[in-house]
Amino acid sequence: MSYQNEIERLKPVLEKARQLDVATNPAPEAIFEAGKDNFQIWCTPEDHPEGWENVPMQGSYPKPCAYVASVLWGWEDGCITHLLLSTEAYFLDKRNRPADMRWAKQKIRHLFDLASVPLLPIRKFG
């Protein structure tokens, strides 16, 4: 497949992430931030990984939130074959904590379901 075909295949995921953009959508389920070929996941005081109960949530978006994870397309032989997931709990000074990875994977599954795109395998990076 061509690069453009691969990007088009996952375009519905990014479109759904843009609809659920943490910066513009005040809805509780709006916790994503889409880029050109990736997306980030944010948490809120009501929806967060285990252990984030006392993490300060910034208020610069329509609701208090904090950055949790980045998801990139994983490429092999010119095809997007997997997702690369990295989490960062800045206020907890931890990277790729198991609780953060579990929570982020749930959010990724949900986003792919909403976009009606088959979920790709998720691999940890970072």
pLDDT at 65 exceeding the cut of 80: yes
Q: Model confidence at 2, in pLDDT bands (50, 70, 90)?
A: confident
| Contact between 90 and 67 (Cβ < 8 Å) | yes
Q: Is the pLDDT of residue 18 over 90?
A: yes
pTM (2 d.p.): 0.94
**Ranges of each domain in the chain:** 3-124
Name the residue among 84, 109, 107, 114 with its Cα closest to residue 12. Answer: 114
Query: Comparing C-alpha atoms, which of 38, 37, 34, 13 is closest to residue 25?
Result: 34
